[in-house]
Amino acid sequence: MCSRERERVERKSRVLVSACLLGVQCRYDGGSALVDTLLEIERERDYVPVCPEQLGGLPTPREKAHVQGGDGFDVLDGKATVMTERGQDVTAQFVRGAEEVLNMARALGVRKALLKEKSPSCGMTFVHRETGLAQGVGVTAALLMRHGIEVAGI
């Protein structure tokens, strides 16, 4: 790699991105949420794809889960849980996945994340099971925000 190319690569800012937004089939239902324009809009960025739920040890596909009793901040504080639709507690996996994403961000010097909306792990907002309304912050978004990483939703 020539020095000019190396300098251009080093200037690129790294951004954590929900892997499903980049076309990785890692959503709970085994699908993706590809946003084609991400690669066109952000050519000056190095994307770091992450799936907190997989990093936390959950399989794909997996049962849909919801935060109960609060939002991602409450989950991190032990005041809320993440439960599957059949009643399995997956709180530990969601927290572990968020911690792994934070570890990656720290190791790579990432200061910004672009995360999937309406997700109990990634989302800047998620759909509350009891009300059906979009509200709150997902577990990973909450942990990243607590550690000074700028989080945006898409």
What does the pLDDT read at residue 154? 86
Record the tokens describing residue 87, joined without a space: 């009643």
Strand partners, 82: 67
Q: Which two tokens stand for residue 102?
A: 């934070």
Q: What range defines the domain where residue 62 resides?
A: 3-153
Domain count, the chain: 1
Model confidence at 77: pLDDT above 80: yes
Query: At residue 11, does pLDDT exceed 90?
Result: no
**Residue 134 bridge partners (DSSP):** 127
Structure-token match 């946003």, residue found: 35
pLDDT, position 13: 83
DSSP codes joined into one string, 21-57: GGT-S-STTS-----THHHHHTTTEEEEEE-HHHHTT
Do the beta carbons of residue 47 and residue 59 sit within 8 Å? no
> If DSSP codes are grouped into helix, strand and coil, which group holds residue 128?
coil
Using 50, 70 and 90 to split pLDDT, how confident is the model at 36? confident
- CA 79 to chain centroid, in Å, comes to 20
Checking if the pLDDT of 87 tops 80, the result is: yes
Q: Which residue has the higher pLDDT, 89 or 46?
A: 89
Q: Is the confidence at residue 62, as pLDDT, over 60?
A: yes
Q: Which helix (H) or strand (E) holds 100?
A: helix 91-108
